[in-house]
Amino acid sequence: MRGGARTPILIGLALVMVMGIAVYFRLWLIDYRISSDEAELLRRQFDLANREAMEESADWRLRYDEEVKRASKCTEELIEIKKSLKKVEDAAGINKKLEILQKENMGLLVRVKSLKQEIEAEKSKCNAL
């Protein structure tokens, strides 16, 4: 009796275990398909995000290049302005030097004139003796 009562329970237990394993494999297969689809979806999303990042990077690089060009152009203009300003300052300095030399020249001309008069006076003294 004991051996006969256990056999149907063991068969039932084995049947339940086989059905459980079948359900487990079925769920695993469904999960694998979803995981495969998700992997493909993730790959597409990654590719899309990567393309967008590359486009944004290219955009920022373009902006950087434009700013470098503008900065170098401004630097060149500043250098040219400094050169022209230096030329103006040099011209102003030259004008001041010219004025000083003209004043010195006038003073020297006056001095030459007075010396000529002294020479004439000395000549007339020498001729009178």
| One-letter amino acid of 18 | V
- Of the segments 4-8, 13-17, 80-84, 95-99, which one has the largest average pLDDT value? 13-17
| Dist CA 59 CA 54 (whole Å) | 9
- Phi (first) and psi of residue 58, to 5 degrees: -65, -40
What pLDDT digit, counting tens, does each position of 49-72 carry?
Answer: 999 999 999 999 999 999 999 999
Q: Which of 73, 90, 108 is nearest to 65 (CA)?
A: 73
Task: Locate 28 and state its tokens.
Answer: 């695993």
SS (H, E, C) the chain: CHHHHHHHHHHHHHHHHHHHHHHHHHHHHHHHHHHHHHHHHHHHHHHHHHHHHHHHHHHHHHHHHHHHHHHHHHHHHHHHHHHHHHHHHHHHHHHHHHHHHHHHHHHHHHHHHHHHHHHHHHHHHHHHC
Q: Which of 37-41, 84-88, 120-124 has the lowest mean pLDDT?
A: 37-41
Whether the per-residue pLDDT at 3 is higher than 70: the answer is no
What's the pLDDT at 38? 77
Map out the domains of the chain as residue ranges: 7-92
Cα dihedral across residues 40, 46, 48, 54: positive or negative: negative
What's the pLDDT at 93? 80
